[in-house]
Amino acid sequence: MPAFVTRPQQEAIPVLHDVDVIVVGGGPGGVGAAIGAARNGAKTLLIERYGFLGGMATAGHVNPWMPNHHDGKPLDSGVFQDWCKRLEELGGMKLPHRHFCPETAKLAAEQICLEAGVEILYHVSLDRPLMAGDKIDSVLVLGKSGLSAHRAKVFIDTSGDADLAARAGCPFEFGRELDGAAQPMTTNFDMAGVDLKRIPDRKTIQEKYDRAKAEGRIQCPRENVLYFHTVEEDRIHFNTTRVTGHKGTDTLEFSRAEIEGRRQVAQFIKFLREEISGFENARLHSMGAQIGVRETRRVKGRAYLTRKDYERGSKFPDGICRVTYPIDIHNPTGTGTEMVHLPKGTWYEIPYGCLVPQGCENLLVGGRPISVDHAVHSSMRVMPPACTVGQACGTAAAIAAQRGLTPAQVDGCEVKKVMIAQGVNLVDGAEGETAAPFRNDRSAAVLSA
């Protein structure tokens, strides 16, 4: 059998849109990007492969919104807070721990996008960009009626995996520096019908889990059972399966990972029902439509943030997002989770240049695959900052489209000023570096993403 086939060239493909900004991927980064662009006057199209928005928050069944606070105030106060507010209005969010209902998150994300004037195109997957030199002319997407083309002045890649950037020829990194291994995937699931009052303490669960693993009833490399309460009284959310050694950007491996994730879910259900009090009558309530992918590509941009920047709490005049969430690395090859916390009251900032990839003139990258190292990625990847980074992309893309600039020509300090004027919790100007000590905690994480 030949290793490759070729497809016919020169097929005529209909052009369905010609807009200012196209955003590829409607997860937290894409929601932030699309609203950021539309609110700043850009005609904006948001392209999403599923029939709903939210990305990992909905399709990946990820919960809760991880904290990203300073002095009790959320640092992500732009589009992300609008999403939360709408979720609360719809009865889909529970404070103080910000657990939310994924179904309501779909409604809320769609409503706020439409209200901002974003056009949404569902059920289309990126095929490839059509390039005009170093610029993207249009993107080809595959939907139910086959291929279609969509043209824009500026594109934003919020696919989580930098699919558009990679196919446009932008350089990128993958996984950790040591061996290229990326953080593991996880099939998240919820159990309903749980008698919360009878659940044992975490130490007892740990002992039972260790025994079940030692005796072969559970095969999962994760070191502990990671679970969270939910918006409902009798439901528990599990973020505890661990699938290592599979790439989220490889067709065959991604598919195999789904099967391995669900194999582990089935073992956990049996274990919980048979060995953990309170779960005797519990049942599987829901799973993600897809396995959760923590890490794949990270583009190489005009700026690059490293673990050292994290440890120093680096600040930048064009810092468009502040992050307090720790370094949170689930071992890419086995057991263990590394958590490194910043000292209370400090944060680091992501400069605008981390969103501007090398190698393509009219592209920005938002959400998790930005230009940072493996360690910083593990911190900024959580949903609140991913959304704010997206909002910065959208703001910059609107400025670029209106003035005929490339994203590299847009002044990141201006992007920051516009975001401040639109309610994002940032401070104009440079705030100087804080050379603060940090806490390294390699023990099993209870609050981990």
Ligand X SMILES: Cc1cc2nc3c(=O)[nH]c(=O)nc-3n(C[C@H](O)[C@H](O)[C@H](O)COP(=O)(O)OP(=O)(O)OC[C@H]3O[C@@H](n4cnc5c(N)ncnc54)[C@H](O)[C@@H]3O)c2cc1C
Q: Which residues of the shown chain bind ligand X in the complex (CB under 6 A)?
A: 24-30, 47-50, 55-57, 59-60, 62-66, 125-126, 158-161, 163, 186, 188, 239, 292-294, 367-368, 381-383, 386, 449
CA–CA distances in Å: residue 371 to residues 89, 184, 299, 355: 35, 20, 5, 7
The distance of closest approach from Cβ of residue 31 to ligand X in the complex, given in angstroms and rounded to an integer, is: 8
Comparing CA positions, the residue from 299, 303, 306 lying closest to residue 317 is: 303
SS3 assignment, position 157:
strand
The distance of closest approach from Cβ of residue 302 to ligand X in the complex, given in angstroms and rounded to an integer, is: 19
Nearer residue to ligand X within complex by CB, 66 or 149 = 66
Residue 197 is encoded by which pair of tokens?
């009052």
The distance of closest approach from Cβ of residue 356 to ligand X in the complex, given in angstroms and rounded to an integer, is: 16
Nearer residue to ligand X within complex by CB, 29 or 92 = 29
Nearer residue to ligand X within complex by CB, 158 or 264 = 158
The distance of closest approach from Cβ of residue 119 to ligand X in the complex, given in angstroms and rounded to an integer, is: 15
Nearer residue to ligand X within complex by CB, 303 or 383 = 383
Q: Cα–Cα distance between 385 and 353 in angstroms, integer?
A: 16
Comparing CA positions, the residue from 431, 274, 297, 239 lying closest to residue 351 is: 431
Nearer residue to ligand X within complex by CB, 323 or 400 = 323
The distance of closest approach from Cβ of residue 432 to ligand X in the complex, given in angstroms and rounded to an integer, is: 28
Nearer residue to ligand X within complex by CB, 50 or 405 = 50
* Number of residues in the chain: 449
Q: Cα–Cα distance between 80 and 261 in angstroms, integer?
A: 29
Q: Are 342 and 348 in contact (CB under 8 A)?
A: yes
SS3 assignment, position 169:
coil
The distance of closest approach from Cβ of residue 24 to ligand X in the complex, given in angstroms and rounded to an integer, is: 6
Taking the CA of residue 73 as centre, how many other CA atoms within 13 Å lie in the half-sphere pointing to its CB? 12
Q: Are 20 and 398 in contact (CB under 8 A)?
A: yes
- What contacts 60, CB < 8 A, 6 or more positions away? 188, 288, 289, 290, 291, 292, 293
